[in-house]
Amino acid sequence: MGMGRAIVLRLAAEGALVSILDIDKDAADATSALVADAGGDAIVVPCDLANRIEVRDAVATHLARRGGIEILVNNAGVMHGEDDLVENTPDRAWNFTFAVNLFGPAALYDEIIPFMVRAGKGAIVTCASNAGVMGTTRPVYGASKGALIGLTLALARRHQRDGLRINVVLPGAFATPMIDRVRHFPASVLHPRYRPIAGLADPAAIGGAIAFLVSDDAATINGAIVPVDGGATAV
Amino acid sequence: MTTSRLDGMTAAVVGGGALGETIEDCLRRSGAAPWLKTPSPATPTEPADILVFVAATAVDFAEAVAVGLEAAFTHARSVLGPMRRRGHGAIVFCATRQPAAGDCPIAAGIAGGLATLARSIAYQYGADGIRVNVVLPGVLASDADIAAAILLLASPDAVFMTGTCLPIGQPEPSRWPG
């Protein structure tokens, strides 16, 4: 299970009316079915986040079907399969990674924040990565997430008086299909010396932090960077 | 302060306009052999002991990422191999100027990306004798201030500094690089 499905299941269980924007319609349909089985409500809006037009249309579809938008969770992201020195990293790795990890969320900000500002209310949580605040063996992925964090925190500050709360979570190593696809995942990051809570985390563990941050319990939390990484950034 | 001499060191200064010329002049007076380079990512940077990359600004976010962050990546990529083979090198990324109060998402995005890119290159290439740092100029920083900070980070005075972000002339502490 990916983090997206885990987040949808948790938010739907909390009563949210969810729209799943995903390039993988089959996986999104399966998530929607799981939500329905649990008595929740999650519709699927197929969308390639790297395509600006599709993002605009997807948000319009959501608004037409749901009538509003109080919560945005930016979870989609890609990690390029290659793990190599900067000097050996091809342009396509940069272009693909930034199209999804940075320009995808930026497009959603463009489409959704003005709507939230007009409504005077909104909670956004953006999933970056602990690789966005540390040096790692994945410079392009890390740079995309670092840029996403900078952009997001500046928006949190800009809209702090508009009724919006915008926060960042830093997921660490979760047992997800994305991690499965990564070759040469460094065993060192799973060692207790580098991660107080060793091992790959269950994706469900990201849902709690996000459900909290978008809830009214977090009404005074804005512009926070919340690591959910087993303590990797703390040691 | 008196910064260590850079005699015999080659230095590529990419971008920056008038600031780039100030940096070049500063490096030359310290004994280095600098040259200015246009920031076009299409042409690789010649091998150098020092790479200074000055991010350009743009109003459009995608364009700003291209000229402020992607170009940093491509120019670093072109010098890292030769630096690794020589066993030494210093890279300094200069972010775009940060306005007061932090209300500039584009500049913040570029700064955050440069900071993390620098940390990863520092992590990957530290054992090869290559250091990578970032300067974050604020509204109060003059070109001379910025050039002086870059000279420090490029010089052996900063031998134990890598993966860091150095704010210059900011009215308040910046948290943007994460």
In a domain, B135, yes or no: yes
Distance between CA A55 and CA A65 in Å, rounded? Answer: 15
Nearest to A135 among B61, B106, B163 (CB): B163
pLDDT of residue A185: 60
In a domain, B4, yes or no: no
Residues 69-88 of B with CB under 8 A from A: 69-70, 73-74, 76-78, 80-81, 84
Nearest to B73 among A131, A143, A158 (CB): A143
Whether the per-residue pLDDT at A164 is higher than 70: the answer is: yes
- What is the average per-residue pLDDT within A36-62? 98
Residue A71 · residue A87 · CB < 8 Å: no
Domain count for chain B: 1
Burial B123-148 (b: 16+ CB within 10 A, else e): bbbeeeebbbbbbbbbeebebebbbb
pLDDT of residue A175: 82
Nearest to B76 among A86, A102, A225 (CB): A86
Cα angle value A168/A172/A175 (rounded, 5°) = 125
- What is the average per-residue pLDDT within A171-177? 85
Supply the range of the domain harboring residue B115. 11-175
Amino acid identity at A189: V
pLDDT of residue A137: 86
Map residue B121 onto helix, strand or coil: helix
Confidence of residue A192 (pLDDT cuts 50, 70, 90): low
Handedness of CA A5, A11, A13, A17 (dihedral sign): negative
Question: Residue B164: is it exposed, middle or buried by C-beta count within 10 angstroms (0-12/13-18/19+)?
Answer: middle
Name, in order, each residue with C-beta under 8 angstroms of A139's C-beta and a sequence gap of 6 or more. A86, A89, B73, B117, B120, B121, B124
Residue B130 main-chain phi, psi, to 5 deg: -105, 130
Look up the CATH number of the domain holding residue B127.
Answer: 3.40.50.720
Contact A131 B116 (CB under 8 A): yes
The least confident of A63-67, A68-72, B54-58, B166-170 is B166-170
Question: Residue B33: is it exposed, middle or buried by C-beta count within 10 angstroms (0-12/13-18/19+)?
Answer: middle
In a domain, B74, yes or no: yes
Question: Consecutive 10-residue runs of chain B (178 residues): their mean pLDDT?
Answer: 81 95 96 89 83 94 95 96 96 85 81 95 94 90 93 92 86 52
Residue A121 · residue A161 · CB < 8 Å: no
Contact A143 B65 (CB under 8 A): no
Question: Which of A153, A226, A233 is best to mutate for the B interface (most B CBs within 10 A)?
Answer: A153
Calculated CA dihedral for residues B5, B11, B15, B16, nearest 10 degrees: 10
pLDDT of residue B173: 52
CA atoms within 13 A on the CB side of B67: 16
pLDDT of residue B178: 43
Number of helices followed by number of strands (H, E) in chain A: 8, 6
pLDDT of residue A174: 84
Could you read off the pLDDT of A139-158 as tens digits, one per residue? 999 999 999 999 999 999 99
- What is the average per-residue pLDDT within A117-132? 96
Calculated CA dihedral for residues B111, B104, A124, A24, nearest 10 degrees: -60
pLDDT of residue A173: 83
In a domain, B2, yes or no: no
Distance between CA B45 and CA B105 in Å, rounded? Answer: 29
The least confident of A126-135, A182-191, A226-235 is A182-191
